[in-house]
Structure 1
Amino acid sequence: AAGLCFSDTKIIKLGGDHPRLYGRDLANDPIIPAHEAALTIIAVGENRREQYKVGDRFVVQADIYFDGVNLAFGYMLPGALQQYVLIGKEILDGDDGCYLVPVQAETGYAEAALAEPWACVVRAYRDVRRSDLKPGGAVWIIGTPGAEDEDYRLAGAEYAGVPRRVVMTDVPEGLAGQIRNLAGGAGVQVTTTDRFSEISEAELVENYTGGKGFDDVFVLGSGSPEAVEAADRSLNKRGRLTIVTDKPLPRPVNLDVGRIHYDETYYAGASPKNPLAAYRKIR
């Protein structure tokens, strides 16, 4: 059985521009969609016969990573809108192990295929985000006009995760001094950049994260929507953006909200008196 997801209609609309297709030329390199699937094994290769047998049933955990690359089932890998699917090493020996989930004999095919969308619903109600700075990660802190007038306090920072590097741009000196003192005792590299108006966030991402993006980004104050937009573009997968202000921004900001789904990015606000409060678990 195969279900149809709204994301499948997005493939029709966006083609190779769909975030999971990486610009693939579908006219010359088409795909077979459908990632909500219940499968039954009808043949097993010689090297896998001790692990699988004809008649075994599975659903596919579609968010497949192989050698660090997302090769989602029904996107980069052929999906379930075909009579037969070849399950290869990307699924059987992926970065997280095997992406096949066993199904009991009494479970219906449609019931099993709905496991993936129902799992999305369950996940939406669970607060599983990071509750700390990413240990060994990269942090970018950006000050905006007016941020120098605030009294920033890093309450509980000594108990926070210890990043590998902190990059500061236009950070008020009082807060910058607190950060240097904390970082010095923990062996964290601290770098101060040129002013925000003189830098490229793409170059910072390349120079300080190897192109992956920052794991934690803080924008201080509400004086620059452009800084918020740059911070969003600079986020790593599963990165967190915290806007530290109690004042409204002067205009709406352009954020790639699709990354919340595809890259598990997270956005929060916090008071200048306790920026790290944004990492507290939601009760």
Structure 2
Amino acid sequence: MKTKAVRLYGKNDLRLEEFELPPIKEDEILAHIISDSICMSSYKASIQGSDHKRVPNDIDRNPIIIGHEFCGEIVEVGAKWKEQFKAGDKFSIQPAMNKKDDPYAAPGYSFKYIGGSATYIVIPNEVMELGCLLNYKGDAYFYGSLSEPMSCIVGTFHANYHTTGGSYVHNMGIKEGGNMAILAGVGPMGLGAIDYALHCDRKPGLLVVTDIDAARLERAGSIYTVEDAKKNGVELIYVNTVSSNNPEEYLLSLTGGKGYDDVMVFAPVKPVVEMGDKILGHDGCLNFFAGPSNTAFSAEFNFYNVHYNSTHVVGTSGGNTQDMIESLDMMAGGSINPSSMITHIGGLNSVVETTLNLPKIPGGKKLIYTNIDMPLTAIADFAEKGKSDPLLAGLNEIVAGNNGLWCAEAEKYLLSNAKAI
């Protein structure tokens, strides 16, 4: 079986190549990748090469396939796994395998024959042994690709905790019916957090979402409306913190001065972290979600409040397998719709340039369909570019009728009409 894949050979050395996959062993599975979304972690691995903790030292001789947010169909199952998996099953993968002998090994970083930026892959036995090959029962493949980033959000909500006076037991999860703030919260991951907060089984009573970008706040408000939030029992308020001389005071006023039970910080920016600390209420939990690239990143935290007001801070990096299963189930059931994360669509031929330039490309998630040839294109540009491109014209008609969001109908149209890679 031949595959086309983007492989990493060294720092900034990504190559789209065609090569032969080995025949699967009795404990392996052959799979067809349909979609993969590009993560900033793939950019970091690509520019760091073997200096990255998940990337092997010999990639110059044994290159790895990049991409870890993928979804596809099983093609052939080795004898060992025939009772559990079958050809035609849709799947996603939990890349955080947490192997005892190699805790950093992960699909998309560490393996020759499994990664999301490929047409076909061989899934090794250890992925199944560790419970990381996950069934996906939804119709649209792109939701399966978003299950990994969504699991990071789910894990964040699960990691927050609260306490009871006189007890040292941590009650895990956000405070149900409490006050929650999502700071710098209308980027792709922030949008996913809004979606989950409004539709999970442990909702806040008040949800305040802040940012400094008026256009992004407006887009968020058109997707997750105040009216729809109210139907789910949540009072949703969007706040542009630039418009206030004292944003902390204003944010506190929205709680009647009580403060916030849960604050999530979605940007590694010192003033934003410090704002989060200042608006915490009694027993308030600040979750620093955003991963800084600066190893010396720090911010002030009020330790008087830690001692006398029981405030505390946690940080999360990625979700576990149960978080990913929850994400897959909620998407398959239609209770969350993280398509708001996606701002660009492309084919396998666009992966190298997109990955190496990811920080310079505005917008949210870049969704790749690995079996097509298509330059990376912003969904917002479909209308203009569709004037000379019938494929984009058709896609624009579909997404325009879906509040500008990518959807299952658009995916089916693209897969049926796009040029094969």
Scaled by the length of structure 2, what TM-score is found?
0.31
